[in-house]
């Protein structure tokens, strides 16, 4: 059975990060081998939460895995608490990766045109180095712009893009995707882009690979929910090590999450609780 080292935080509540990744990767027939970056009682959207940074323990786990001659088929990274953890991940790739290892980097740094509190320019630079080592990167639009332009330029550019008509906006997203693919030598998927077309709203994901730019769209319901980006990247990471075509994996991920959100809207679940994905896991078989 193929194995993926999943480097992400573990949040007890919120259905995100490792609690989203492990069931998705497992049901797709790949073993998820978690390496926690932090332990939280709940994801940070809740009013209160316990947080324990796991940087020093990551090194201890890596030492044991090295002694076990662990060799994953894939490496998938999500939340990193800062530049120091990014250095640990770079060390992990150096020790456990080789020319055959598939790497997916989800550069968690911000959303909706604003960087997260963890963001620093040093972390962003480390994310760029990680992106250069990746097979696939899965930034949202904010993270894509941060990778290309940094914090100082993103707000002005975000405001300018938001004022464009839909056709021009999609064109600028495509230019962004092409710049990412060229700058880092990767397949890039810009995720979670709201598109308003013919009086309906869809959720768009832009793939930029050797074929150029491809949009994958599904109907959008509800608002923003905890963990959807983690679910999306998890589907892609499992597909990556299985050799599945990227466009097929993106479509599968988008359909899976769309159905989960539909059930979540019907149930009236709070966004912080995440989406009702469990009964839709069979869609990934």
Q: What is the pLDDT of residue 78?
A: 98
pLDDT tens, per residue, the chain with 285 residues: 999 999 999 999 999 999 999 999 999 999 999 999 999 999 999 999 999 999 999 999 999 999 999 999 999 999 999 999 999 999 999 999 999 999 999 999 999 999 999 999 999 999 999 999 999 999 999 999 999 999 999 999 999 999 999 999 999 999 999 999 999 999 999 999 999 877 789 999 999 998 999 999 999 999 899 999 999 999 999 999 999 999 999 999 999 999 999 999 999 999 999 999 999 999 999
Which residues are paired to 187 by β-bridges? 136
Dihedral sign from CA coordinates of 99, 103, 109, 110: positive
Residue among 14, 19, 23, 48 at smallest CA distance from 269: 14
Evaluate if pTM is beyond 0.85: yes
Q: Give, in degrees to the nearest 5, the angle at Cα 63 between 61 and 69.
A: 105
Phi/psi for 266 (5° steps) reads -60, -35
Give the whole-angstrom CA distance, residue 97 versus residue 91. 10
Measured distance CA(173)–CA(144) in Å, rounded: 9
For the CA atoms of 204, 209, 214, 217, the dihedral, rounded to the nearest 10 degrees, stands at -30
Q: Name 76's Cβ contacts closer than 8 Å, sequence gap at least 6.
A: 4, 5, 6, 7, 8, 21, 103, 104, 106, 233, 234, 237
Q: Any idea which residue has 């100082």 for tokens?
A: 152
* Domain that residue 199 falls in: 3-284
Give the count of domains, the chain.
1
232: domain CATH number is 3.40.1190.20
Sign of the CA dihedral with 112 first, then 118, 122, and 123 last: negative
- Looking from the CA of 115 toward its CB, the CA atoms found within 13 Å total 20
Q: Rounded distance, CA 182 to CA 145, Å?
A: 14
What's the chain's length in residues?
285
Q: What is the pLDDT at residue 129?
A: 98
């Amino acid at each position: 059975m193929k194995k993926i080292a999943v480097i992400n935080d573990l949040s007890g509540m919120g259905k995100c990060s490792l609690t989203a990744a492990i069931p998705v990767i497992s049901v797709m027939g790949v073993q998820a081998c978690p390496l926690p970056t932090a332990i939280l009682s709940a994801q940070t959207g809740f009013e209160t939460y316990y947080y324990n940074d796991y940087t020093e323990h990551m090194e201890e786990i890596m030492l044991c895995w090295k002694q076990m001659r662990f060799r994953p088929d894939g490496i998938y990274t999500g939340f990193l608490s800062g530049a120091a953890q990014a250095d640990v991940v770079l060390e992990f790739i150096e020790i456990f990766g080789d020319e055959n290892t598939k790497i997916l980097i989800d550069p968690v740094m911000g959303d909706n045109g604003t960087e997260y509190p963890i963001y620093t320019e040093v972390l962003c630079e480390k994310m760029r180095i990680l992106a250069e080592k990746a097979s696939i990167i899965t930034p949202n639009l904010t993270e894509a712009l941060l990778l290309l332009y940094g914090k100082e330029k993103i707000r002005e550019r975000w405001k300018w893009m938001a004022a464009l008509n839909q056709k021009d906006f999609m064109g600028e997203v495509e230019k962004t995707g092409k710049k990412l693919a060229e700058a880092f030598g990767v397949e890039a998927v810009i995720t979670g882009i709201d598109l308003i077309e013919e009086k309906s709203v869809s959720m768009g994901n832009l793939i930029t690979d050797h074929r150029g730019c491809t949009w994958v769209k599904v109907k959008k319901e509800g608002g923003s929910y905890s963990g959807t980006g983690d679910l999306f990247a998890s589907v892609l990471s499992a597909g990556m090590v299985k050799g599945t075509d990227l466009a097929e994996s993106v479509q599968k991920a988008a359909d899976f999450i769309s159905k989960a959100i539909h059930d979540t809207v019907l149930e009236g679940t709070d966004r912080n609780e995440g989406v009702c994905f469990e009964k839709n896991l069979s869609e990934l078989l």
